């Protein structure tokens, strides 16, 4: 049995797509456990770049079965569009893809509400994909699930109830309430297209684990965007942390053998909310440009900042990380000085903890490191890194008290220094 979770340790976009693709080499099953089309996971093979929002990042490896667990929220049109695109590349994704029949569905009114709210002063900078309102419906027990697409009259009856609940909100926000028929019609064809893929993904995953198969649980978003533990209310609406893999897929915690946390050698954030190590000016522009830090879903420029070690320690603790995959080290090349936040000064004194609810009044304390000028993107081992780069990497590892399993030095598959392979070693 080998169940390994890949989880974002920062505010998302840490390179989960790339690392899942690398590890899928050794996996039989790849399962997304949370989030929806708010995610954008980038896979780079040779000169080709593929961005997946719902389809698990294992899809490019032809041997792996890919599942969307019931903790995810599915926009049928987005998923069908992605499958068609992958189909056109000759990957036959439908042969290797199953979707939880109990996964909740994003419908047009979820996207409408998300967009209307983002136009108000209480906007939080969501991806406007309807993810938050869909999870709200799930918690309010009026959500639509993919299995409801088996019967159109039944679906319409459920949509009628949900829409009645949303109508006052839509009107108050200045929107127009859509008709039940228009909502159903909008999603019906895509929903029908997905019916052959529906399955009991929890049972499939458990069976695979019992049969000794190797399962990768692919996280979306990141620890600091988790609805319970992130920088609330500037978070997403799902359990992004490793624990979310158990509830989101429907397997027991005893099935997990290892948890790998992904972190950039610096930090980014998209959307609103506190970001104490945020940078502005020339260094920020340089990191954004070299690191191509523009949202893969929305195209928004990502906010950039120095690596936050108290936040990373928080992620090590919350996820029970066994190792960290440190990505985008190459992006720091050419900077005169590299900084790392090592502690915070707060009104109650200096702390090495991440003051998640006091970030507005906390000041980061930095350690400075000399930069490195050499291009590191073709290094094959840590020994090939310039001393300054290696010293920085070793400092991060020691400070967060968690060993590194990967140091990533470029977007490509071969730009990866693999120090430990949790699936092979489990």
Binding residues for ligand IMO, per CB under 6 A?
8, 11-13, 35, 38-41, 125-127, 129, 131-132, 220-222, 225, 234, 236-237, 270-271
Say whether 244 sits in a helix, a strand or coil: helix
Q: Which of ligand IMO, ligand GDP, Mg ion, none is residue 328 near (CB under 5 to 8 Å by kind)?
A: ligand GDP
Q: Does 3 bind ligand GDP (CB under 6 A)?
A: no
Helix (H) or strand (E) holding 253: none
Distance separating alpha carbons of residues 407 and 17, to the nearest angstrom: 15
Q: Answer yes or no: 41 catalytic.
A: yes
What is the smallest separation between the CB atom of 369 and ligand GDP, expressed in angstroms? 18
Q: For residue 137, give the nearest of 157, 115, 107, 170 by alpha carbon.
A: 107
x/- letters, 307..336, toward ligand GDP (CB under 6 A): --------------------xx-xx-----
Q: Given the residues 21, 25, 28, 41, select the one marked as catalytic.
A: 41
Do residues 187 and 77 touch, judged by C-beta distance below 8 A?
yes
User: Rounded to 5 degrees, what angle do the CA atoms 240, 241, 245 make?
Assistant: 85
Q: Does 8 help bind Mg ion (rule: CB under 5 A)?
A: no
The number of residues that bind ligand GDP (CB under 6 A) is 23
**Binding pattern to ligand GDP, positions 383-412, x when CB under 6 A?**
-------------------------xxxx-
User: Is 164 near ligand GDP (CB under 6 A)?
Assistant: no
**Which among 14, 147, 180, 153 is positioned nearest to 74, based on CA atoms?**
147
- Name which position in 16, 129, 229, 339 contacts ligand GDP (CB under 6 A): 16
The residues near 366 (Cβ < 8 Å, ≥ 6 apart) are 277, 306, 339, 340, 341, 342
- Which one, of 1, 50, 5, lies nearest residue 30 by Cα? 5
| Closer CB to Mg ion, 18 or 102, in the complex | 18
Check if 421 is active-site.
Answer: no
By CB under 6 A, the residues from 80 to 119 that bind ligand GDP are none
Residue 31 vs 198, nearer CB to Mg ion: 31
Residue 370: count of CB within 10 angstroms of its CB: 13
For the bound state, the minimum distance from the C-beta of residue 223 to ligand IMO, rounded and expressed in Å, comes to 11
**What CA–CA distances, in Å, run from 283 to 98, 327, 334?**
44, 18, 10
Q: For 221, phi and psi rounded to 5 degrees?
A: 55, -145
Task: Tell me how far, at minimum, the Cβ of 60 lies from ligand GDP, in Å.
Answer: 13
Binds Mg ion (CB under 5 A): choice among 4, 6, 8, 13: 13
3-state SS record for 41-72: EEEEECCEEEEECCCCHHHHCCCCEEEECCCE
CA pair distance 120, 114, nearest whole angstrom: 10
Which listed residue (35, 36, 37, 40) binds Mg ion by CB under 5 A? 40
Supply the residues annotated as catalytic: 13, 41
Return residues touching ligand GDP (CB under 6 A).
8, 12-18, 40-42, 44, 291-292, 296, 327-328, 330-331, 408-411
């Amino acid at each position: 049995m080998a169940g390994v979770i890949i989880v974002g340790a920062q505010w998302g976009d840490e390179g989960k797509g790339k690392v899942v693709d690398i590890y899928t080499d050794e996996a039989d099953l790849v399962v997304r456990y949370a989030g929806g089309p708010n995610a954008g996971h980038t896979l780079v093979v040779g000169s080709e770049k593929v961005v997946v929002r719902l389809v698990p990042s294992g899809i490019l490896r032809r041997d792996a079965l890919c599942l969307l667990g019931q903790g995810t929220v599915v926009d049928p049109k987005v998923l069908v569009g992605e499958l068609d695109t992958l189909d056109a590349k000759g990957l036959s994704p439908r042969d290797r893809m199953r979707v939880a029949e109990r996964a909740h569905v994003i419908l047009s009114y979820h996207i409408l509400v998300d967009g209307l709210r983002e136009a108000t002063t209480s906007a939080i900078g969501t991806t406007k994909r309807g993810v938050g309102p869909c999870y709200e419906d799930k918690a309010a027990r009026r959500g639509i699930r993919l299995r409801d697409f088996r019967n159109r009259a039944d679906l319409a009856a459920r949509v009628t109830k949900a829409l009645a609940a949303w109508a006052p909100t839509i009107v108050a926000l200045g929107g127009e309430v859509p008709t039940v028929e228009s909502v159903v019609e909008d999603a019906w064809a895509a929903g029908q297209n997905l019916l052959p893929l529906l399955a009991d993904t929890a049972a499939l995953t458990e069976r695979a684990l019992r049969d000794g198969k190797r399962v990768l649980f692919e996280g979306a978003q990141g620890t600091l965007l988790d609805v319970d533990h992130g920088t609330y209310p500037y978070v997403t609406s799902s359990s992004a942390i490793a624990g979310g893999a158990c509830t989101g897929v429907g397997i027991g915690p005893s099935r997990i053998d290892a948890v790998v946390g992904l972190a950039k050698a610096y930090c980014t954030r998209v959307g609103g909310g506190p970001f104490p190590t945020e940078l502005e000016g020339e260094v920020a522009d340089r990191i954004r440009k070299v690191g191509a830090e523009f949202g893969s879903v929305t195209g928004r420029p990502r906010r950039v900042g120095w690596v936050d070690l108290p936040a990373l320690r928080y992620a090590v603790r919350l996820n029970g990380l066994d190792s960290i995959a440190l990505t985008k080290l190459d992006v720091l090349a050419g900077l005169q000085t590299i900084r790392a936040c090592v502690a915070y000064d707060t009104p109650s004194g200096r702390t090495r903890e991440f003051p998640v609810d006091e970030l507005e009044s906390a000041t980061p304390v930095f350690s400075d490191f000399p930069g490195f000028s050499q291009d590191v993107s073709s290094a094959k081992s840590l020994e090939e890194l310039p001393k300054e780069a290696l010293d920085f990497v070793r400092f991060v590892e020691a400070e967060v008290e968690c060993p590194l399993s990967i140091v990533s030095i470029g977007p490509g598959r071969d730009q990866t220094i693999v120090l430990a392979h949790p699936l092979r070693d489990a």
